[in-house]
Structures are given as structure tokens and as C-alpha cells.
Amino acid sequence: MRKTSLDSVYELAKQDKRIVFIGSDIGAGTLDEFKAEMPNQFFMEGISEAHVVGMAAGMALEGKIVYINTIATFLTRRCYEQVALDCCLHKTRVRLIGSGGGLVYAPLGPTHLAVEDIAIMRALPGMTILAAADAEEMKRMMPHTVDIPGPVYIRLGRGGDPVVTDPTDPFEIGKLFLLKPGKDVLLITTGTMSKMALDAADLLRAQSLDAGVLHVPTLKPLNVSGLIAQMAEIPVILTLEEHSVIGGLGSAISEILAEAAFTPAKRFRRLGLPDAFCENYGSQASLMAKQGLSVERVAQQALELAAGARV
Amino acid sequence: MPTSPTSPFSPPTSRPSLDRRSKDLRTLVLRAFGAGRRGHLGSAFSLVEMLRVLYDDVLRFDATKPLWEGRDRMILSKGHGCLALYAILADKSFFPESELMKFCHIDGKLGGHPERGKVPGVEASTGSLGHGLSIGVGMALALRARPEAGRVFVIDSDGECNEGSLWEAALSASKHRLENLTVLVDYNHMQSYSTTAEVLNLEPMADKWRAFGFAVKEVDGHDVASLREALKATPFEPGRPSALICHTVKGRGVPLLEWNAAWHHKNKVTDEEVATLLAALEEA
């Protein structure tokens, strides 16, 4: 997914001289063609995220459209004030491409695990937040990021993720994608968790529970009316995200549900990462399972909720 | 007067009388300060001559077209010194002087830190320190490809040199050989709590900027002729960004304010205090 995203920047930059790319100190060989063909649009600026984001804002104030890529934690936590003030307050066209959203860097530990990135980006006025389900969706998404008038945070998944999106269904900012309809349960997901939701829906079918999967690639601005319409007829709602249960998709849907005040009330649960730093390593999948996120666990939670159980 | 023990350049010790223009600009600052009943007065007064020379003699701008493409960009990275910026921008008719009388008012454009898009002539919204130089580097990079485009000037405070991000930006400016970028450091040797020497010593200041790849000059930051001579000769060396270390006196112009950390920021200012300061400015 990262390669697709950066290759898209390269293709977009070939067509639009306003587009520039800035990396901090990313992997050797990354975007070598871009650097060779468009040296005036390519920058590798060192391990100085605060400066890189400020510099990008300065370039954007002079008409550039600036894509930055580095590890998501460093692009969100490390330089949060530059993102807030230089990018958001100035309404600049800076695009932050965060590698390793969620538990992608599982073996590297908490310094590299972007588990509250959506929460902190969501709190910033004017920020657009995007999380594609797979590389194919990323490819369709990237051209839409060029003309967004303010800053954008693009959260990258692991890479090599199974393709779950429909290539014939055009991407639009704010559009919701019903990957699978269902009348008993709605699993609302974002990013690469859509695959886990689809697999859980398959398990639930064996239990005679008809579960739908709604993929939300645009986390901000959130399509509130579309979400309300999708949730209206379904009694059981679960959110599923590779992110802290604080401040991400689950929180956003909670807020919508609370204010929508459906009658009868929805049975609702947030599935995500607990409010704690991860203490284990392992693979992304094994760490996710350790944190309570697996196909079986999602299905089990949906069954409990559908049965009216309270945990 | 506190001095930095290792500084090769002594802060100004003599106090020649300010000329009429310097007093008039400080009068505008004081009137706005009184209208808002607050502000970073000492930080503004140390800046007046730097801004005066920039806007009178150095910068290309058109106050009727604040976003004119060919303008020079001037970023006040030490946004808390904005009263001085507002005074010179009003003086140059970027906005009416009457706006100064709404400083920090609910219906005013001029806040306690300057904001781009709200205040004509303000190039970057600043107030949190250590941001302006990075923005300036980005602007200088974008502008140098355009033959008609202006230069970039960034004013940093000495306390701001505590911020790590400023030095990240300094590394980047010299990497890119940004000769269209000039940094002015308002080195008044005081920060909010106390002297820079006590809080976080910055010496050797000029050598630091040299080590980061800048061509460096030092001047008395209240000496209009010296400032003019230096700022009209940028870049100081071809292929390098320039740094002008301006040795200044915090609060310069009113003896009560000078070297007085208590006047870094004031609020609940009374009309009587403003009148006293105005009178002292005229007598100084």
C-alpha cells in the first residue's frame, strides 16, 4: 500500500509541477525514479519531522502541493504542533502519508505503533483523514487528494493486504462503501480492518446472523448523514479499527449514535485496541489477536451483542 | 545590565536618543498596548529599528496588494513581538491606524500573536516559537525557482533559539544554500524568566549560526545606519543563507522597561501607566 501511495505521488507529480514530495530519512531506493526525473520536486530532508512539516507548509503557502512520507508516529506525535498550526491553521495543501498505521510495526514496539494517530488528527480543524482498505483503493484515492484545499492525513496499512474493494466503484472523498449488505448486524470499519470484518461476517452467516460490512475510508470529514442512513434499519452496530478505542472510528460513530438517538436504541460496541501501550511484539496479526482483534473475536462479540448480552 | 560572559559582542551600553521616527513607531505600539490593555511591550520595543529598516529601506512590498507575487516575505517568527509589526504595517498603510485601537478586542483583527489571512501583510501565523524559520525555508525553496519572486526574511527571538526545531530549520537552510533567506535574531539577551545567560545560555551565538552554515554579521540592533548597511547587502556571502545577529535592549526606549523581565508581558494595563510610558518615551 505504501508503494502504491508513493508511486501515485510520482505519477501525479509528473502531470502537475506544483506537486512535491518530501521524505525525512526513508528507505534507500525509495522513489529513485522520481528523484532522478524531477529533482526539483523531490526532497529528502533528514530526521527532523517538525522542520519538515513547517517547511512543507511554507512551500504550500507559495502554491506547492506537498506530500510528506515517514513513519506515522513521527508524522503525527512528533510534530503535532506543526501539523496543527503550520498545516491546519494556515489551511495549507500538505499531505501527510503516515507509514504503518496501527500495529504494522509490531516487532518494533510502542515507539513505532500508530494507535492514536486518527484520534489526534481528528481533533484538528480542517484536517481530512483517509484510510484505504487495500492498495487498489489507495490507487483510486490518491488523485482525489490533490485538490483538497486543506491538509490531509493518509494512513497507510501494512501492504500486500487482500483486495476487498470493488474496482468498478469510483472513490470519492466522504463516500461510504457497503462491502457487504446485511440486515442483522452492521460492522463499520476503516482501513485494512475491512478484510477482518468480511471474514467475521462469513463466520456469522454460519450462525444464521446476517452481518453487513460498511467501509469508511474518509474518517474526516465524516459522512454523518450517510452513516445514519446506513445504520437506521440495523439493530446491532459494531465498529472495528486497528486503533485505540479512544478517539477513532468507534468514538466518532458513538458520537453520531448518541446524537441521533435512534428508537429503539442500537446495541453498540467499539472493537479496537485497549487504552494501553502494547507490551508484546510478534507479527501484526499475532499482536492484534493478543489485543483482542481477530476474526473469531469480532464474530463472538457480534453474536453476544445480537443476543442482547451485556459484557 | 546582564551580559553573556562569553559574548564577543557587548550589548549596547550607550543610549543615544531615539530619533523622531523611532519614537513615533513606539508611540503607535504604546497606543495599541493601551487599547488592548496588554501585550509583550519589551519584546516589541527591542524590534522597532529592525522592522523600521526592513520596511523603510529593504523590503519590496505593495501595501495595496499584500499578496503581490513579487513581494519580499517577512515572517515575524517571534510572534509575541507583534505590536511592533502592527505599528509598522499600520504606518505603511496595510491597514488603518484605527485598527491598532482594537488590539486584542473581540471585533479586532490584531491579536496577541499575528495571523496570516486576518492581518494584511502578515505572512505566517506565529506565536508558538520555532515555527517561522521552517516556514521561511519552505517559502525560500519555492520562491527561488521564480525569477521575479521576492526574498524571505525571518525574525527570530533569542529565547526562540532554545527551540530544537529552529536548528533543524537552520541545517536545512544551509543544505539548500538558500541565499534568498535572511534570519534576523533579536538578541536582547532576555527572555521571559530572566537573562538568556541564566535560562539557557546561547553563546557563542554567532558561531552557532556559522557552524550551521550561515554567513553571519552582528550589529547594534537599534543603530539604524548599521542595520541598513547590513540588510541592504544580503546575501552576506553567495550560496549561503544570511544571519544578522541584532544586539538589542529589551524594552528599548523607556528606561523603566529596559532590561526589566517584569515587562516581558503585561496585562490589566491602566491609562495612567500608558500615559507615564508615553511621557517617558518622549523624555528618553
Per DSSP, the residues of chain A read -HHHHHHHHHHHHHH-TTEEEEESS--TTTTHHHHHH-GGGEEE--S-HHHHHHHHHHHHHTT-EEEEEEEHHHHHTTTHHIIIIIIIITT--EEEEEESBBTTTGGG-GGG-BSSHHHHHHTSTT-EEEE-SSHHHHHHHHHHHTT-SS-EEEE---SSPPP-S-TTS---TT--EEEE--SSEEEEE-TTHHHHHHHHHHHHHHTT--EEEEE--EEES--HHHHHHHHTT-SEEEEEEEEESSSSHHHHHHHHHHHH--SSPPEEEEEEE-SS-----S-HHHHHHHTT-SHHHHHHHHHHHHTT---
Q: Give the pLDDT score at B2.
A: 46
Q: Is B205 on the interface with A (CB under 8 A)?
A: no
According to the model, what pLDDT value does residue B264 have? 82
A160 confidence band (pLDDT: 50, 70, 90): confident
pLDDT computed for residue B149 by the predictor: 84
Inside any domain, residue B63:
yes
Dump pLDDT digits (tens) for A112-146: 999 999 999 999 999 999 999 999 999 999 999 99
Q: Note the pLDDT tens digit of each residue in A204-214.
A: 999 999 999 99
Q: How many domains, in total, are found in chain B?
A: 1
What pLDDT was estimated at residue B5? 42
Classify residue B187: in a domain, yes or no. Answer: yes
Number of residues in chain A:
311
CATH number, domain with residue B122: 3.40.50.970
How confident is the model at residue B85, as a pLDDT?
98
Share above pLDDT 70 across residues of chain A, in percent, rounded to a whole number: 99
Whether residue B207 lies inside any domain: the answer is yes
Global pTM? 0.95
- pLDDT interval class at A4 (50, 70, 90): very high
Residue B14 within any structural domain of the chain: no
Contact A218, A268 (CB under 8 A): no
Report the C-alpha gap between B76 and B111 in whole angstroms.
Answer: 14
List chain B residues with pLDDT less than 70: 1-14
| Neighboring chain B residues of A17 at a CB cutoff of 8 Å | none
Question: By residue range, what is the domain housing residue B267?
Answer: 20-283
The pLDDT of residue B12 is 56
Give the mutation candidate from A51, A91, A92 for the B interface (greatest B CB count, under 10 A): A51
Is the Cβ–Cβ distance between B30 and B278 less than 8 Å? yes
Residue B263 has a pLDDT of: 85
- Say if B1 falls within a structural domain: no
CB contacts < 8 A (A, B)? 88
**Is B154 a member of any domain?**
yes
The answer to whether A296 touches A289, Cβ cutoff 8 Å, is no
**Does B124 map to a domain?**
yes
Quick check: is B15 in a domain? Answer: no
- A86: nearest CB among B135, B143, B171: B135
Residue B3, pLDDT score: 46
pLDDT at B146: 86
What band does A310 get if pLDDT is binned at 50, 70 and 90? Answer: very low
pLDDT tens figures, A260-280? 999 999 999 999 999 999 999
Interface touch B168/A86, C-beta < 8 Å: no
CB–CB contact B169 A46 (8 Å): no
Q: Which residue of A has its CA nearest to B67?
A: A62
What average pLDDT does the structure give for chain A? 96
Q: How far is A164 from chain B (nearest CA, A)?
A: 39
Which residue in the set B136, B165, B171 is minimally distant from A50, CB to CB?
Answer: B165
- Contacting residues of B for A57, CB less than 8 Å apart: 134-135, 138
The chain A residue lying nearest B71, using CA atoms, is A62
- Residues of chain A found within 8 Å of residue B136, distances taken between Cβ atoms: 58
User: In chain A, what residues touch B125 (CB-CB under 8 Å)?
Assistant: 85, 89-90
Q: Nearest Cα to A90, choosing from A55, A142, A43?
A: A55
